[in-house]
Amino acid sequence: MLSRIAVNPDLIVSQGGDPALLRDGLNTAVAGPVGDATQLNRWIAALEAPRADVPGATLASASGRIASYVSDIGTTRLMVQEQLSFTTARWETLREAELADGVDTDVELQKLLQIEQAYAANARVIQTVDFMMQRLMEI
């Protein structure tokens, strides 16, 4: 797989490179003093220097652009989390409303038993009245 960014082979020890070139520069002919951090300080200064990426863009350093990017990611994450919370709350509310309008089988069964008992009592009354009418007809 090809990458867009790679380490220069002149710096990799396993490929015959010399990591001291980071300190002294890639085009140096003679190695400099071991403790010289001039080149590293130039790189740090280059990263801290404010620049415009495109004409008309605001000036910002590399660390400023990274901070802005991280801030944008955090803001987006918070907005998505807020949207998720709102959607979850709305779903739960709609679910509760749906369940409230549903059939409660316990209540329906109680009503059915009451109707059955009332029917049985009425049947008994009719049976008793029929028996009494039969008795009166016999007299």
7-35 pLDDT per residue, tens: 888 888 898 888 888 888 788 878 788 88
**3-class secondary structure, 1:** coil
Cβ(33)–Cβ(22) below 8 Å: no
Low-confidence ranges of the chain (pLDDT < 50): none
Rounded to the nearest 5 percent, the helix, strand and coil shares of the chain are: 70, 0, 30
The reported pLDDT for the residue numbered 93 is 94
